[in-house]
Amino acid sequence: MTTPMPLRIFEHQLVAYRRLWRGTVVVSFAQPVLFLLAFGVGIGALIDEDVAASRRIGDVPYLAFVAPGLLASACMVTATVESTWPVMSAIKWSRQYHGMLASPLTSTDLVHGQVLWIAFRSMITAVAVGLVLIFPDDTRSVGLFGSVLAGVLTGLAFGVPITAWTASVDRENLFFGLQRFVVTPMYLFAGAMFPISQLPRPFRAIAYVTPLYHGVELSRGFALGTIDSAAFVHVAVLSAFVVVGYLWARRTYPRRLSP
Amino acid sequence: MNVALVSRIVPVQLRESRRAHHMVERSMVVYRRGWVMIVSGFFEPLFYLLSIRVGAGKLVGDLDVGGQMVDYATFVAPALLAASAMNGAVIDSTFNVFHKLRYAKTYDAVLATPMTPGDIALGEIAWALIRGVIYATTFAVVIVVMGLADSPWIVAAVPIAVLIGFAFAGVGMAVTTYMRGWADFEFVFLATMPMFLFSGSFFPLSRYPHALRVIVQLTPLYHGVELERAAASGRFGAGSFVDAAYLLALGAVGLVVAARRIERLLRP
Amino acid sequence: MAPTTEPLIRAEKLSKRFGAFVAVDGIDFVVERGEAFGFLGPNGAGKSSTMRMIGCVSPVSAGTLRIFGLDPATDGTRIRGRLGVVPQQDSLDEELTVYENLVVYGRYFDLPRSVCRERAYELLDFVQLRDRANSRVEPLSGGMKRRLTIARSLMSEPEMLLLDEPTTGLDPQARHLVWDRLYRLKQRGVTLVLTTHYMDEAEQLCDRLVIMDNGRIVAEGSPRQLIERYITREVLELRFSEADEADAASILDLVDRAEALPDRLLLYTDDGEQTLEHVHARNVRPLSALVRRATLEDVFLRLTGRSLVE
């Protein structure tokens, strides 16, 4: 019984990661934690003093409100990073993919391997943030498991389509555009930091179609225990992004990597 | 006599650096094609400030700052300008420089000409500052357009941003010459991220316990934030001189270290 | 005003140390204006280190080095302004196009912008890259990149051109194009200083050369002189089957010098054909026999016991 091809790729990346993990874990862990401290605790202290504000976020401390949002956002960032630079590198600079394709591996295997990897890295980020959330009373709950799953799904909803896109473009400068016009606006406006009810109506509609909004809602619902049937919608939307992204990758990978 | 004085103060690495502007020229040629990226830089401050006004600003309400009630967006905006000046300078002086130093080997060819390591250090920092000026001006315009500036002194925000950029570009470049691989960049991140979050940008320093307050006041971004806040509100004080001097000194030290290190790295 | 007969480069007991490792061990040489001078030697001989010292990008560890009569330690900037450099690694600017590479490089020499633009086009024609002027550097072939580097080195119209392994890694066609261009430059009076481990390159291009090994100069002279001084005019190369190897030993007395390589036997003689007849006369039947001219490779083998290309 031989190891399935995608797992072999995953194994390879895991081994490579062993040398790098210390650096990225620090960032994947440190960034969300620091953000939580600054926004959850720092700004949170300012917000919790205001009764009207508290009501708007569901009568929970701001830390409890923003933390699950940041969990999903952190997964988005991790997935984006993992699906842009390393993929371009494997195609163009280190040309790792070409080396792999000289073996029995096919480009489909490469796609599957990358999907596994994104899920894994998103999980690490989600677990890291989740662990931090165990400490404050307001966020300690069994629902954190659900939040972690929501984080992984969010990561995939970003990572898989972006991987497909990376394989179809040639210039890395576009990554900065992705950061500036997709990732950052979502981070700011998709409901992680403040409820989207505060957005003007037309922009609220835009927020509804972003994967991050659904990831945030799902993650927050689990963490605060306010999960309801809307969860099915959130899961469906996120999954749609994953599936579409996967099919897209199945087309762009072979096209880019054909000899 | 004046020449002798300059020779003693100006370190040897920078003494023959009369050609730094060619490095700037080079960068301009490179960016002539990437102008879209520069122009789109306008959107970043717009997004951040909008999100504060529409989001956290509505939740936080007004803050008492030095006896005056300030709405949250007005409180945060100058700090964001300072932070973006820092981030821009850091990225230009670390990421880009490291790539050129280690991988593209761009500087090797440059040093075979009359250009010196001092030219390179000065030129790259100058370019980082020019980009900073463009970006800071855009940011300041957005601040004014959104009504978040209380004083015509806001125009000082741009030279202050240059000063912040100079400090961080100098230090950034010096640090970059010590890096061994892309993994080391995590340390850069670990330095700038806490500064960005905790230099009194998002909540007033008065809410910190005393010990932490002292630590923050020793970090560079805090001084940049204070200067920018002073510009936006028009209220400069004696402390502003200290802030400015701190940043100037930091940049100068970084510049000298960077030139010396580049010399040693590229002229073994 | 220095007399025109002053050598362009003068080195005495020149040394370069990296910590405990001695790359260049007290060498002496002189390069005259207008000549093509070569450093021939295997990898690790110290050629590149020497070139980097001449190019004023690496400080001298010991000894004296004067270029254009100037000391690199104090006048490095001035010297570099009069040199053209073609380094071993192209180090082209990958963020700029082919044309921009030339113009920006010219600007490093403080040449006026209009001069840079004009000269860039001239040089692109000279190295036959005009049609690639607006291309990025990355997709160019190795030969094209090398030609671009040569064009770049000429932007300042240097008195002296330093080339470190100029045709290493190029296919034969590219090599001949580069040689042709260098020859034309020599005709225009540009002094060429190059390093190489290819003996054909040294023979083709150099008026004078020094042979380096392990940081020292082991021989000096024109290619002709070196061959005449150290070895015979011709070489008879013989290959034997394993069974006949004893025969190989038996014919060694036919010549003054012989060299046994792993795969063949070299007999040094002034008349290869005649020696071959002698071999046959003794009833020795080699698998194959080849008579060829002696080359610098043979000189190097004679002087160091090793071949130029390991």
Q: How far apart are CA C164 and CA B43, in angstroms?
A: 48
Q: Higher model confidence: residue C6 or residue B100?
A: C6
pLDDT given for residue A43 in this prediction: 86
Residue A194 to residue B58, Cβ atoms within 8 A? yes
The answer, for B39 touching chain A at a CB cutoff of 8 Å, is: no
Beta bridge partners of C12: C64
User: What tokens does C281 get?
Assistant: 């006369």
Residue B106 to residue C94, Cβ atoms within 8 A? yes
Minimum-distance CB partner of A46 among B34, B44, B203:
B203
Report the length, in residues, of chain B.
Answer: 268
Minimum-distance CB partner of C91 among B26, B109, B115:
B109
Q: Which residue of B26, B103, B113 is the best one to mutate when testing the C interface, meaning the one whose CB has the most C CBs within 10 A? A: B113
The answer, for C117 touching chain B at a CB cutoff of 8 Å, is: no
From the CA of C224, how many Å to the nearest CA of chain B?
Answer: 33
pLDDT given for residue B6 in this prediction: 46
**Count of CA atoms in the C-beta half-sphere (13 A) of A64:** 20
Instruction: Tell me the count of B-C CB pairs closer than 8 A.
Output: 66
Minimum-distance CB partner of B190 among A30, A45, A189:
A30
Which residues in chain B are contacts of A57 at CB distance < 8 A? 59
pLDDT given for residue C165 in this prediction: 92
What percent of chain C shows pLDDT beyond 70? 98
Beta bridge partners of B140: none
Which residues in chain B are contacts of C103 at CB distance < 8 A? 29
What percent of chain A shows pLDDT beyond 90? 46
- In sequence order, the 6+-apart residues with CB closer than 8 A to the CB of B160 are B82, B224, B227, B228, B231, B244
Instruction: Tell me the count of A-B CB pairs closer than 8 A.
Output: 93
Other CB atoms within 10 Å distance of the CB of residue C281: 9
Contact (CB, 8 A) for C230 and C267: no
Residue C57 to residue B110, Cβ atoms within 8 A? no
Residue C87 to residue B267, Cβ atoms within 8 A? no
Which residues in chain C are contacts of B108 at CB distance < 8 A? 87, 89, 91
From the CA of B238, how many Å to the nearest CA of chain A?
Answer: 28
Minimum-distance CB partner of B25 among C58, C77, C104:
C104
Q: How far apart are CA C230 and CA B141, in angstroms?
A: 79
3-state secondary structure of C232: coil
Q: How far apart are CA A21 and CA A128, in angstroms?
A: 13
Greatest mean pLDDT range, B43-47, C158-162, C292-296? C158-162
pLDDT in tens, C77-133: 999 999 999 998 888 998 899 999 999 999 999 999 999 999 999 999 999 999 999
Looking at the predicted structure, is the pLDDT value of residue B9 above 60? no
A211-220, C119-128, C144-153, C293-302: segment of lowest average pLDDT: C293-302
Contact (CB, 8 A) for C292 and C234: yes
Scanning every residue of chain B, which has its alpha carbon at the shortest distance from the alpha carbon of A31?
Answer: B193
From the CA of B47, how many Å to the nearest CA of chain A?
Answer: 7
Tokens 């404050």, located at residue: A136
Looking at the predicted structure, is the pLDDT value of residue A114 above 50? yes
Other CB atoms within 10 Å distance of the CB of residue B211: 8
Q: Which residue of C16, C85, C88, C91 is the best one to mutate when testing the B interface, meaning the one whose CB has the most B CBs within 10 A? A: C91
Scanning every residue of chain C, which has its alpha carbon at the shortest distance from the alpha carbon of B32?
Answer: C96
Strand bridging mode C36-40 / C208-213: parallel
Tokens 């005259």, located at residue: C32
Contact (CB, 8 A) for B97 and B106: no
Residue B26 to residue C104, Cβ atoms within 8 A? yes
Tell whether ipTM is more than 0.95.
no
Other CB atoms within 10 Å distance of the CB of residue A13: 21
pLDDT given for residue B5 in this prediction: 47
Residue C150 pLDDT class (50, 70, 90 cuts): very high
Strand bridging mode B68-71 / C257-260: unpaired
pLDDT given for residue C129 in this prediction: 93
Which residues in chain C are contacts of B20 at CB distance < 8 A? none
- In sequence order, the 6+-apart residues with CB closer than 8 A to the CB of C196 are C38, C39, C40, C165, C166, C167, C168, C202
From the CA of C108, how many Å to the nearest CA of chain B?
Answer: 6
A146-155, C166-175, C245-254: segment of lowest average pLDDT: C245-254
Q: Which residue of C61, C95, C162 is the best one to mutate when testing the B interface, meaning the one whose CB has the most B CBs within 10 A? A: C95
User: What tokens does C250 get?
Assistant: 């038996």
* Cα-only R_g, chain B: 19
Residue A42 to residue B197, Cβ atoms within 8 A? yes
pLDDT given for residue B45 in this prediction: 83
Looking at the predicted structure, is the pLDDT value of residue B98 above 90? no
pLDDT given for residue A21 in this prediction: 64
Mean model confidence pLDDT for chain B: 84
Which residues in chain B are contacts of A27 at CB distance < 8 A? 186, 189-190
The answer, for B28 touching chain A at a CB cutoff of 8 Å, is: no
Residue B157 pLDDT class (50, 70, 90 cuts): very high
Q: How far apart are CA C262 and CA C89, in angstroms?
A: 33
Residue A188 to residue B48, Cβ atoms within 8 A? yes
Where does chain B show beta strands of DSSP type E?
Answer: 62-65, 68-71
The answer, for C9 touching chain B at a CB cutoff of 8 Å, is: no
Which residues in chain A are contacts of B41 at CB distance < 8 A? 180
> Mean pLDDT, to the nearest integer, of B144-173?
91
The answer, for C184 touching chain B at a CB cutoff of 8 Å, is: no
From the CA of B11, how many Å to the nearest CA of chain A?
Answer: 36
The answer, for B32 touching chain A at a CB cutoff of 8 Å, is: no
Burial level of C266, CB count in 10 A (0-12/13-18/19+)?
A: buried
Mean model confidence pLDDT for chain C: 90
Q: How far apart are CA A41 and CA A62, in angstroms?
A: 8
Residue B29 to residue C58, Cβ atoms within 8 A? no
User: What tokens does C9 get?
Assistant: 């480069």
> Mean pLDDT, to the nearest integer, of A79-98?
88
Other CB atoms within 10 Å distance of the CB of residue B7: 11
User: What tokens does C205 get?
Assistant: 């291009």
Which residues in chain A are contacts of B58 at CB distance < 8 A? 53, 56, 194, 198
The answer, for B61 touching chain A at a CB cutoff of 8 Å, is: yes
From the CA of B69, how many Å to the nearest CA of chain A?
Answer: 14
pLDDT in tens, C222-278: 998 998 888 888 999 988 887 777 777 788 888 888 888 888 888 898 888 888 888
Q: How far apart are CA B100 and CA B103, in angstroms?
A: 6
Helix B220-233 / helix B157-176 crossing angle, nearest 10 deg: 170
- In sequence order, the 6+-apart residues with CB closer than 8 A to the CB of A56 are A195, A197, A198, B58, B59
- In sequence order, the 6+-apart residues with CB closer than 8 A to the CB of A204 are A196, A197
Looking at the predicted structure, is the pLDDT value of residue C186 above 50? yes
Looking at the predicted structure, is the pLDDT value of residue C2 above 60? no
What percent of chain B shows pLDDT beyond 70? 91
> Mean pLDDT, to the nearest integer, of B62-74?
81
From the CA of C176, how many Å to the nearest CA of chain B?
Answer: 25
Which residues in chain B are contacts of C107 at CB distance < 8 A? 22, 25-26
Residue C91 to residue B267, Cβ atoms within 8 A? no
From the CA of A248, how many Å to the nearest CA of chain B?
Answer: 27
Scanning every residue of chain B, which has its alpha carbon at the shortest distance from the alpha carbon of C54?
Answer: B112
User: What tokens does C122 get?
Assistant: 């001239």
Global confidence as pTM = 0.79
> Mean pLDDT, to the nearest integer, of A191-213?
91
Q: What is the largest CA-CA distance in chain A?
A: 63
The answer, for C85 touching chain B at a CB cutoff of 8 Å, is: yes
Which residues in chain A are contacts of B37 at CB distance < 8 A? 173, 176-177
pLDDT given for residue B15 in this prediction: 62
Residue C16 belongs to what H/E stretch?
strand C9-18
Scanning every residue of chain B, which has its alpha carbon at the shortest distance from the alpha carbon of A37?
Answer: B197
Q: Higher model confidence: residue A91 or residue A160?
A: A160
Which residues in chain A are contacts of B60 at CB distance < 8 A? 43, 46-47, 50, 53
Handedness of CA B38, A23, A167, A243 (dihedral sign): negative
Minimum-distance CB partner of A26 among B56, B58, B186:
B186
Minimum-distance CB partner of C77 among B26, B116, B268:
B116
Scanning every residue of chain B, which has its alpha carbon at the shortest distance from the alpha carbon of A204?
Answer: B54
Which residues in chain B are contacts of A173 at CB distance < 8 A? 34, 37
A184-198, B21-35, C13-27: segment of lowest average pLDDT: B21-35
From the CA of C309, how many Å to the nearest CA of chain B?
Answer: 27
Scanning every residue of chain B, which has its alpha carbon at the shortest distance from the alpha carbon of A46?
Answer: B60
* Cα-only R_g, chain A: 19
Q: How far apart are CA C200 and CA C309, in angstroms?
A: 12
